[in-house]
Structure formats: structure tokens, C-alpha cells
Structure 1
Amino acid sequence: MKCPNCSSTNIGKIGVNQFYCWDCFIELALEDGKLSLNQVEEDGSLTLLDDLFQSSELEAKANGF
């Protein structure tokens, strides 16, 4: 399993269909066959990063999970 943002394999599971990249601090959630990416901010809030990737990319990368 690789991070779609930085290609790191340093990914941990934090919940059901939820993962975390320890290298670029991105939370990944698998929802309905599509990845959703969020950046974890210093205050713990999440910033959606899906707009940085095309829909087809997120669906293709979800198949790797």
C-alpha cells in the first residue's frame, strides 16, 4: 500500500477503512470505492485534499487498498 500523495509505504490503519501516512501527515479514507484525502492540521482539524486529484485517480488508487 502506497500513499497517493507522497508514494510512501509508511501507512498505518487508524480505523475501519481509514489510514494515515506518517510521512506526509495525510489521512486517507476509503468510501464507496473512492479514496478521500485529508490533511491533518495542527489543531486536529481536517482539510479536504480531494480537489488536488482527479476523480479517476482517486478511484484507481482506491483499488490498491
Structure 2
Amino acid sequence: MRCPSCTSRDVGKIGANQYYCWNCFAEFNVSGDEVRIYEVAEDGSLIVVDQANHADVEFGTGA
């Protein structure tokens, strides 16, 4: 899978349909055809940054 924000493959799964990018430090979730991208605030809360279409995210093993 690639990060929808920076296209890095350095993505880890943190929950059901929730992922974290270690390159740009964005958190995102996939729900149906929508991908929501969040910035993690200093207090740990999530701030919505962007929404993208499901087609923008590449799924796979990264190999």
C-alpha cells in the first residue's frame, strides 16, 4: 500500500482500515470508496487534512 498523501510505501496498519505513514507522519483510513487523511496533533487528536478517492490508494504487500 502507498500513502495517499506522499506515495511512500512506508505504511503500517494501526487498526481496522486505519494506517500510518512513517514518511509524512499522516494517518489515514479507508472506508468504502473514500480515503480520509489526518494530521496527528500534539495532543494526539486527529485533524482532517484531505479526502481522496479509493482509486488513489495502491493496495498490496509492498514487495
TM-score, reference length from structure 2: 0.79
What residue ranges of structure 2 are gaps of 5+ in the alignment?
A: none
Q: Percent identity?
A: 44
What residue ranges of structure 1 are gaps of 5+ in the alignment?
A: none
Q: Between Structure 1 and Structure 2, how many residues are aligned?
A: 59
Considering Cα pairs closer than 8 Å and 6+ residues apart, tell me whether 1 or 2 has the greater RCO.
2
Runs of 4+ aligned structure 1 residues displaced above 2 Å come to none
**1:15 — aligned with what?**
15
8 Å CA contact retained: 2:20, 2:27: yes
Deviation at 1:32, TM superposition (A): 2.1
**1:59 — aligned with what?**
54
Calculate the aligned-residue CA RMSD, in Å: 1.5
**1:25 — aligned with what?**
25
Larger strand percent: 2
Larger helix percent: 1
